[in-house]
Amino acid sequence: MAASKYLGALTEIQRHELEQRLSNRQNNRCFICDELVDLTLHAGQLDIDHIDPIVEDGLDSENNFALTHASCNRSKGASDLRVARRLAEFEKLQQEAQKAGKRGANLGDVLERHGGAKYSLRLKRDGDSIQYSMSASGDNRIRQSPVLTDKLSGMDYFFASFPIEYLHHDDRINPRSIGPNIRGLIEEFLQKRPQLHVGLAWWAPEDSDGSGPLKLFDGQHKAAAQILLGVRELPVRVFVEPNINVLLQANTNAGGKLRQVAFDQAVMRHLGSTLYAERVQQYRRMRGLPEDDLSFSEQDLVRFFRGERREMERYIIDAQRDNITHSAENKLLEFVEWAGKTGNRPISYSTIEKTFFKEFLYKKALDSPIDEGFEQGTNPRFLEREQMVRLMSLFAEVFFVGKWDPEIGGRRLEARIQKGEKIDEYHLRAWRIAREEVVTITVKWIRLVIENFFSWTGRMVDKERLLHTKLPDELWCRIGIFLSNLGQLPCWVDRNLSTTVFGPKQNPEFWDKVFNTGVATNGQRILTEGLNLHEMIKEKQGLMYQCK
């Protein structure tokens, strides 16, 4: 809290009276989180701070004070209460979105909170101009904007400013959630610095009356920051009845090979999945097939779109990845950090890509019909998807569900242990086993468990396509027992290893040797002996997993 001569000169009674006046002015709500303030229950746990900081020429007077919970004010991470207030509002949106099963809040959530995305728009082309009216919001004026043509794509567009009631978020072209950089934008706009790039939107008639939503697909962070600050009208560049596939491809390339946009891997997979669906529809149209026809193969698609063979193969696998990571049955997703590993959750999406997907996902296009075995439950991609979800869920059940404490988190966890902080053993085990280098070797051993079972039962399987074969319940039981026995190894909860083993980042070779011999590549003994596969799949007392 900024130093205040005004507050410093108040007596205890005068301060209490000021708290009462501020509380009344704020309808008994904290200025930051907007939750209730009770002067009795929260006595000694309230702060009075400047709305406009003194360092930015804010007045040191009652009109520039706000009452907050002390915890809100001290954890706000911003010197400006106005920024903290907007960030607290956005954090609530994030929590609501995650409860609804989404990765995080996007522009659509911000628009909904602030009364946006209500109306569709009708456009009228008159030569080289576009006419429109926003009569649904009570503004009956007829406005006009010149129509311009993009020289390379040939798409028509115009510039205009629209109330947020007419703006909708396009989560198909832009499926990203809003990241932490929203704070920087809020701070920037509070300094009255204008945005240098207007949002991009598109319009096409969808309803019988010729109206359609104005869908914003680029610039959602800047739009959201301004809306959170109370802006009710935003400038946009509107493409008129564009080729949506071109916009979708352009946005995918911007986050992919061009690296213009910081799309995380999960978002790129979602975009690839969308493009796969678009190519399937295009293939049907151009071959004159019914809309629900899936009698062709993935290889047929690759051959048909031979000019983009590599992209098509990636879209096929992206669709599989995306279906797995968006499955409501996947219990691991609750514990995934989608962009990097910040310490809020134990495992990163990047780790999932480099371990589970790398080890078990078949990366080549199939030559069997896409709908082969649907009715019998033997479709290879369906089996792969279903069993990958089951495997990831099993991993989560053994190590994370009911064991990972989000209040403790993982930020600087090993450093905290070195300082003597007591960390629950289940939580510590979850954090350490989720390290990418550990998961890398763990999934290789899971593969050994699967291959060993088929060898033991005398069945031949394609090792490249293990999950295209239905794994029997007895094998799933073995995998669960293996993971549970792995979790019982003392190294995961040994605090003495915090500096030497778990402090620095190790490589997979380090843990490969530990699992095989008990000794690390640097000669340090981590386990009394290497893992024995047959012992690791035996049920023992105290296991974290019980076969059902």
d(CA 143, CA 163): 13
d(CA 192, CA 96): 30
Look at residue 254 and tell me if it is in a domain. no
Look at residue 177 and tell me if it is in a domain. yes
Residues 193 and 270 in one domain: no
Look at residue 216 and tell me if it is in a domain. yes
Q: Which of 69, 93, 117 is the last residue in one of the domains?
A: 93
Residues 391 and 353 in one domain: yes
Q: pTM of the predicted model, to two decimals?
A: 0.62
Residues 366 and 493 in one domain: yes
Residues 521 and 469 in one domain: yes
Residue 172 has phi, psi (to 5 degrees) of: -85, -50
Task: Specify the number of domains making up the chain.
Answer: 4
Neighbours of 320 (CB within 10 A): 21
CATH number at residue 237: 3.90.1530.10
Residues 307 and 412 in one domain: no
pLDDT in tens for each of the 548 residues of the chain? Answer: 457 888 888 898 998 999 999 999 999 999 888 889 998 888 888 988 888 887 777 788 888 899 999 888 876 555 578 888 888 888 889 888 877 777 789 999 999 999 999 999 999 998 899 999 999 999 999 999 999 999 888 999 999 999 999 999 998 888 878 877 788 888 888 888 877 778 999 999 988 888 999 999 988 889 999 999 999 999 999 999 998 888 887 766 665 554 444 444 555 566 667 778 888 888 998 999 998 889 999 999 999 998 888 889 988 998 899 889 888 899 998 899 877 666 789 999 999 999 999 999 999 999 999 999 888 889 999 999 999 999 999 999 999 999 999 889 998 999 999 999 999 999 999 999 999 999 999 999 999 999 999 999 999 889 999 999 999 999 999 999 999 999 999 999 999 999 999 988 899 999 999 999 999 999 999 999 999 999 999 987 666 666 76
189: helix, coil or strand? Answer: helix
d(CA 485, CA 59): 63
Residues 212 and 350 in one domain: no
- Beta pairing class for 233-240 and 156-163: antiparallel
Residue 147 contacts residue 240 (beta carbons within 8 Å): yes
Residue 315 contacts residue 272 (beta carbons within 8 Å): yes
> What is the domain extent for residue 75?
5-93
Nearest to 489 by CA among 449, 458, 518, 448: 518
Residues 349 and 428 in one domain: yes
Look at residue 208 and tell me if it is in a domain. yes
Cross-strand pairs, 218? 200
d(CA 416, CA 423): 9
Q: Which of 285, 310, 326 is the last residue in one of the domains?
A: 326
CATH number at residue 55: 3.40.1800
Look at residue 101 and tell me if it is in a domain. no
Residues 241 and 150 in one domain: yes
Residue 64 contacts residue 52 (beta carbons within 8 Å): yes
138: helix, coil or strand? Answer: coil
Look at residue 451 and tell me if it is in a domain. yes
- DSSP letters, 150-176, are -TTT--EEEEEEEEGGGEEE-TTT--P
Residues 164 and 283 in one domain: no
Task: Give rounded-to-5 percent helix, strand, coil for the chain.
Answer: 45, 15, 40
Look at residue 137 and tell me if it is in a domain. yes
Q: Which of 93, 116, 138 is the last residue in one of the domains?
A: 93
Residues 88 and 168 in one domain: no
d(CA 310, CA 312): 5
Residue 473 contacts residue 485 (beta carbons within 8 Å): no
Distance in Å from the first CA to the final CA of the chain: 56
